[in-house]
A = this chain, B = another copy of it.
């Protein structure tokens, strides 16, 4: 019984250059997909990374896996934003901080919406724990009297989806039209008693 971790794997540690390339590929893919959308070719990504296509395929089973990896990255950033917003002692401020993040995120990276579209199903456009946090964030704001009593996490989720679209539809120069949109919608969420 010599201590081999696994009978058939006397593996060596991965080489340093391989590890570095891992990060380089993700970064390049992020940039290229943001610029050209999901139909960007693997070759253009490889070129941006300064690598050959084969190197990408060593790490990722295929283009779809690469797309998924990046989508997961975005969800993770959104996740961190919800966690930060939830930690804010003032519920209203936390909610607005979160919505600010969503708008800024999409403004910076216009094309990400098309990347996420379809890749994450309708009911997990936001990963489940993230949505749970949005729900809590909403509930706190309702309890504090900042939103009408019947407002739910679904309403905020719809608003998030709407922000995507408003950012994408805004004229080129205008990077903050979405702020006005959010302000208006929040006014509706405060005042609106939707006796349904």
Q: Is the CB of B187 within 8 A of A183?
A: no
Main secondary structure of the interface of A (DSSP, over half): helix
Q: From A162, which residue of chain B is reached at the shortest CB distance? A: B162
Q: Is the CB of B166 within 8 A of A161?
A: yes
Chain A contacts with B in 135-162, Cβ cutoff 8 A = 154-155, 157-158, 161-162
Q: Measuring CB to CB, which residues of chain A are less than 8 angstroms from any residue of chain B?
A: 114, 117, 122-123, 125, 154-155, 157-158, 161-162, 164-166, 168-172, 177, 180-181, 183-189, 191-192, 194, 196
Residues of B within 8 A of A161 (CB): 165-166, 168-169
Top 5 nearest A-B pairs (CB, nearest first) are A188-B188, A165-B165, A162-B162, A161-B169, A187-B188
Q: Contacts A122-B172, A162-B166, A170-B122 given: A192-B183 contact, CB under 8 Å? A: yes
